[in-house]
A and B are shown apart, each in its own frame.
Chain A
Amino acid sequence: MMKITNEKISELLIIHTEGRLDAITSVEFEKEVMPMIQQSEHPVLIDFGKLDYISSAGLRTVLILAKETKKSNNSLALCSLNETILEVFRISGFDTIVSIYPTIEEWFASMK
């Protein structure tokens, strides 16, 4: 129930997600995304545009990934969160620990 793709635009890594990020899929998500982030020396963006759902397990993974980038002096950002997911982020205070952008374009703009 989880689909992950990535692309590099001028050294910047963008990871597209699709589906649900729950107790089951977040394990798999962490396994796949962690290496990408570790390898990237430039800022990373995870696109939640097609993500329908996130639970606390998903939030936990996001926190782990965010910590990892922080460790390597890199940065992690999220974009295109739908209403429900954004609310979950707000409720859990996660909007203060990761930068959230409305669109990919706005993230790009902030990079410059």
Chain B
Amino acid sequence: MKRIKNKRGLTFKLIIFIFLSVAIIFTLIFLDNYDISKKMVEKNLKLNAELITKNIVYKAEKILGSVQEIPNNFSKIIEDSSYSEAEINRILKMEVENNSEIYGACIAYEPFYFNSTKKYYAPYYYRNKKEIEFKCLGNEQYDYFIMDWYKIPKEINRPMWSEPYYDKGGGNVIMSTYSVPLYREKNGKKYFIGILTADVSLDLLREYFESIKVYKTGYAFMISKKGTYISHPIKELIINETIFSIADAQKSSEMRVIGRDMVKGESSFADTEYYNIKYNKLSRIAYAPVSLNGWSVGVVFPVDEFMKDVNNLFIRVMFLGLGGLFFICLVIIFISRSITSPLRKLSIAANKFAEGDFDFEIPPSSSNDEVGSLNKSFAHMQSALKKYIENLRLTTSAKEKIESELKIAREIQMGMIPRKFPAFPEKKEFDIYGFIEPAKEVGGDLYDFFFIDDVRLCFAIGDVSGKGTPAALFMAITTTIMRAENQIAGLNTSSVINLMNNYLCKNNEGNLFVTLFLGILNTSTGEVEYINAGHNYPFVIKSNGAVSELNTTHCIPLGISINTCSNPNTFKLEKGDTIFLYTDGVSEAFNIDDQQYSIKKISEILHNQANHTPFEIIQHIIDDVKDFSQGTEQSDDISVLAIKYLGKPLSKVPTQNYQMVIKNSIGNLSSLSEKITQLCNNWEMSSDVLNKVNLVVEELISNTIFYGYSDTFEHDIILNLMYDESTISIEIIDDAKEFNPITQKSADINSDINERQVGGLGIHLVKSLSDAFTYQREDSKNKIKIIIQF
């Protein structure tokens, strides 16, 4: 319901509210005006009714008066006692003859007035058709002395009009008898002698009443003292009915009251309403008595007719009002249309904007009103939005481009770091695992590991100052040169670091630096040589669970100044030991309460990790750090690297043989030692074993070359090297003269410097360094076999 209401337009609301208000105001004014008009009309009606009624009464009295005049004058003549009976009769006849209104006249004398024998004497002249006829009234049957027309005037000493009646002889003429008492003077005393009557036609009165027009259907009527209708537009009522009989017939109490008041001789002017008889219309009635004879005149004013002007005015005003309201409606519709139509267009435009169509043209508005200014604001908004969206689009695409480039950069950077595990599935001597997670797309952390020869694994972890792209670039340089410098054979970690530092210092426009821990693990012995350039101390987890830090720093971080790192340190990873390296992104990870993860915590976790693989250890640490820093943004790059030394796999190395043939020239010894070095490195022998092998071979072969041949021919000396999991055996076969080194007198190793001889020292050294030493002379060849264990 409410929703529907809200959906309705401005036009509807304006119309409803304005129209209703105006209609209410108009109706109130109209009703008040109608009331006042009605009252004014009523007041006028009353004045009018009084005037009209009184005028009618006056006219009726005048008519009646003129009719009365004749018998009145005649009575004066008769009262003059000088006229005789005959003369009086003649005058009486003349009166009827000369006055058309008079239908008959009679003088009814007191008993025995002219003749003492004649009780009844009443000469009566009357019209019968055109003729005047005579009749003498009064006898035993018709005792006129007791008749009203005789008795009442006599009693009241005044003339009297009788109740009207129809004349039966002279056609349908309403008649009334006027009775005048007659007196004569005798001896100065006036006494009653009889009654003069005149039967008078009330035609004049009738005609007059018929001529009266009150508005359109209004009329006047007259009733007698008994209420009998004397005059009425409905002819049938006259004489035949009284106002009371009609009131009874119509069951109109109002009419009865009116009739009573009229008969009583009271007057009222349009105070009373009733339904008139003729048209049964609601009417006002005015009435007043005729003073001559007590009859009463009533005038009927139909309400609709006297109210006609007011009603007409009412209808006119109503139509004007309705017209006005209709006009107001039109005006409202026009105004609201002129407001809402641009608003509607703006609304359509706004919807188009919402759909992203910023080129939708806003309909132009020429008006300067609020709607016009809204239109202008809207147009401004459109252009501003368009510009803003365009800018946003450009920045967004630029940002996207940077982001996608960063993504590629990240892939490249991640590609520089070995992240494929197991990294060396064929190497059983150690297990390695690394983890890196830059705080941003790219980061300045690095770890790396690679073999610089068959047995030595170079590994490193580092942290470039700062984060993001600059750090990432510096990291890339560091990784690259670290790999490059490590490829130079024979360099120890200290030299590599120094070379790297020189390079980084020279080409460091951004003043970045990198902390680096660089180590080389001899995978066959577990020996580790390392340099720490300002990096966090790595942990070593011994196989028994003991955890210690490699707390030596050899130089300041790289890239700051050209300086020299001190000699590398070495330590040995025993079977089951793990070295754990990390960057400060781990130890300095923050939690929500701004606390650091701390090195202590790392060490605590590492304490029970001795039996775990590098992968498990790192997983454990990373999970713990992530739990710790949950709810915070990663603040720094995180890198971890762990290497577990598993020792030389037993019985897995197959026996390997190597044979060399050397010519008997001392100059060949240097190339021989190079070959042996290379071979031993391939077999991942320690430098100690390598030196022993070299020493044994050199001593024995140089002996043969120097002392074995008496000729100058070229001879072949055969060297067989055999290598298995724990020993290396050296076999030398030559065709020199027989020489058993075992039976040689032992060398002088105790005498003073002045007496000391060097002979036999070589054989002594060989004997001392070998674990087994045998000699055979076979096929004219010396065969020496030596075994060295490691």
Contacts and interface: CB of A to CB of B under 8 A. Distances in A.
Interface of A: 1, 20, 22-25, 52-53, 55-57, 59-60, 63, 66-67, 70, 83-84, 88, 91-93, 96-97
A57 B702 contact: yes
B691 A22 contact: no
A53 B670 contact: no
Contact of B758 (A1, A22, A23, A59): A59
Given A83-B688, A92-B765, A63 B695 contact: no
Interface string B672-710: 010000000000000110011011001100100000000
Given A60-B758, A91-B764, A93-B750, A84 B688 contact: yes
Contact of A56 (B694, B750, B758): B758
Contacts of A24: 666-667, 669-670
B749 interface: yes
A22 B698 contact: yes
B560 interface: no
A88 B761 CA distance: 10
B753 to A, nearest CB: 4
B695 A91 contact: no
A55 B670 contact: no
Contacts of A60: 758, 761
Nearest to A93: B749
Interface of B: 666-667, 669-670, 673, 687-688, 691-692, 694-695, 698-699, 702, 747, 749-750, 752-754, 756, 758, 761-762, 764-765, 768-769
A1 B765 CA distance: 22
B691 A84 contact: yes
B753 A56 contact: no
A83 B687 CA distance: 10
A83 B699 CA distance: 19
Contacts of B768: 91
A53 B696 CA distance: 12
Contacts of A96: 750
A96 B753 CA distance: 9
A19 to B, nearest CB: 11
B440 to A, nearest CB: 45
A47 to B, nearest CB: 14
17 contacts: A22-B694, A22-B698, A23-B702, A24-B666, A24-B667, A24-B670, A53-B695, A55-B695, A55-B698, A55-B762, A56-B762, A60-B761, A67-B754, A83-B688, A91-B749, A91-B769, A92-B749
Contacts of A92: 747, 749, 761, 764-765
A53 B756 CA distance: 22
Contacts of B769: 91
Contact of B673 (A20, A59, A63, A67): A20
A59 to B, nearest CB: 6
A97 B761 CA distance: 14
A97 B753 contact: yes
Nearest to B748: A93
A57 B699 CA distance: 8
A20 B670 CA distance: 10
A20 B754 CA distance: 26
A24 to B, nearest CB: 5
A76 to B, nearest CB: 10
Contacts of B667: 24
A97 B757 CA distance: 12
B758 to A, nearest CB: 4
B753 A63 contact: yes
Contacts of A1: 670
Contacts of B695: 53, 55, 88
Given A20-B673, A23-B698, A56 B666 contact: no
Contacts of B753: 63, 66-67, 70, 97
Nearest to A84: B691
Contacts of A63: 753, 756, 758
